[in-house]
Structure 1
């Protein structure tokens, strides 16, 4: 007879007896990973931090498993980076397909206390979600596949030497974005990848704002019982957001309509400073 282990509950308990879902703990761990100083520590010290600062009753073994699943376990790195980090800087955007911001959000599966990933890319100029990925795991290959499809849909192509005309991808310093696979993708498609400094989420304000809206208007309205249900509602919401939801900063149009009108020259060109 096959021995059955104890099921993983999908949450940890605080000192006050409150159940904290793993999706929230994953957010805490990613904040630690991105922190300028705390990010240099490993999972054992992060366990102490979670206990001290978030009053969690949690073992180092669980923190290890979660860090491994998130791809943020610390490994010794003696090799020179193949794709050196390029810091984000202030820019003025005058049209679509000049700057896309990309980020990852976590959602809860309430019946199993599991969590899922949503990785979205927003065009800063027209606010369209040009691509997104939903899954129970999120690796660099999932994100690059999503972005490849977005490049094809938007017919974004560049030739060698056209540096000033390159699409800029702006991300944080998550493990998927600092990976060699993501760097190879950017080199292959001739897009310019820049990463925001740690503790500067305002430099990714447009995608952060969208994810706040996604939380408020989708995640907070539905209790997802299983992955397929969550993915269905995310699909439905992003289609609504792009094609039907009026955006106050677009005077007022939906993102897709604003993109279409600006491409045809039917609205005056504007500047977006960030």
Structure 2
């Protein structure tokens, strides 16, 4: 079509009658004038704003889309089982003071596959609610949760997914990346089990919240494959995941808030070193003032006795 417009313009510019040229080329006047006003580059531009990786709040803070997705999942499980994306938009504005429109909520819901017609896809794997435990040894209950960091120099978020043993307080393994999906969470669990040599046992429970990484079929299927029981805490009960929440608070207060990262590489190195120091240097009163690594090795040798943990 653009070729015909170019040919027509060429002959018209040489003085030939416009009506005759357009009739010979086979182009209507309206099409010819439209293409003159809208060149190919403009026609190929679909318009609209590019998608963003974060959402702004009323007080000017930026929240990552992964956090918004987690809030969407919590809203659906807690109160919005029959909400469409319009109501979810208003719920996000009311509860979390987000400046967000329904189109973005629709897109995030579509990425999570939780739009209303698909919401019946619950349960190939029924949800196991967190129950009370009394933990008396290592490798019985691990907690996992997602933490967000911000890279100022690149204006984007990165994600930290640590796993803590609630008895000996060791961060058994962790994932740091610019993305964190169900596959990353499953790989981190598998790596942690390999480190502790508990692969294939039936005694280990891993506890999470209702984030999108943990409600996915892939994560549940992976836990079944690994021989680990996965349980999720009820919505709005972070105290059920207290140990990993406490670690994430320490990570925020003593590491993330004290650095203004200029690159992902800098953020990765800093956070990795902090986790290593947490395991090897930081002492805990609950471990009789040993570091987590020391406590784990002493517990394995039966040289240390600490109180059981009730969760």
- Measured against the shorter chain, the TM-score band is 0.7 to 0.9
More helix by share: 2
User: 1:81: Cα distance to partner?
Assistant: 1.8
Q: Which runs of 5+ in 1 are unaligned?
A: none
Aligned to 2:265: 228
RMSD: 2.6
Q: Residues 98-113 of structure 1 correspond to what in structure 2 (within 5 A)?
A: 98-113=140-155
Whether 1:44 aligns to 2:86 is: yes
The TM-score with structure 2 as length reference comes to: 0.76
- For the 8 Å contact 1:26–1:66, the answer to whether it is kept is no
User: 1:40: Cα distance to partner?
Assistant: 5.0
- How many residues of Structure 1 are paired with residues of Structure 2 in the alignment? 265
Whether 1:22 aligns to 2:59 is: no
User: 1:145: Cα distance to partner?
Assistant: 0.9
Counterpart-to-counterpart distance in 1, 2:105 and 2:121: 27
- Cα–Cα, structure 1 residues 81 and 229, in superposed 2: closer, same or farther, change >3 Å? same
Aligned to 2:275: 238
Counterpart-to-counterpart distance in 1, 2:188 and 2:56: 36
Aligned to 2:297: 260
Q: Residues 114-193 of structure 1 correspond to what in structure 2 (within 5 A)?
A: 114-158=156-200, 163=202, 166-193=203-230
- Cα–Cα, structure 1 residues 138 and 105, in superposed 2: closer, same or farther, change >3 Å? same
The TM-score with structure 1 as length reference comes to: 0.85
Q: Is the partner of 1:106 in helix, strand or coil?
A: strand
Q: Is the partner of 1:117 in helix, strand or coil?
A: strand
- For the 8 Å contact 1:9–1:113, the answer to whether it is kept is no
2:102 is aligned, of 37, 43, 60, to 60
Q: Is the partner of 1:22 in helix, strand or coil?
A: strand
User: 1:110: Cα distance to partner?
Assistant: 2.0
Counterpart-to-counterpart distance in 1, 2:221 and 2:56: 41
Larger radius of gyration: 2
- For the 8 Å contact 1:119–1:143, the answer to whether it is kept is yes
Counterpart-to-counterpart distance in 2, 1:247 and 1:269: 12
User: 1:167: Cα distance to partner?
Assistant: 0.3
Q: Which runs of 5+ in 2 are unaligned?
A: 1-40
Aligned to 1:201: 238
Q: Provide Cα deviations, 1:223-254, integer angstroms capped at 9, x if missing partner.
A: 12222222221111100111111122211011
Greater CA deviation, 220-229 or 91-100?
A: 220-229
Q: Which has the higher contact order (CA 8 A, sep 6+)?
A: 1
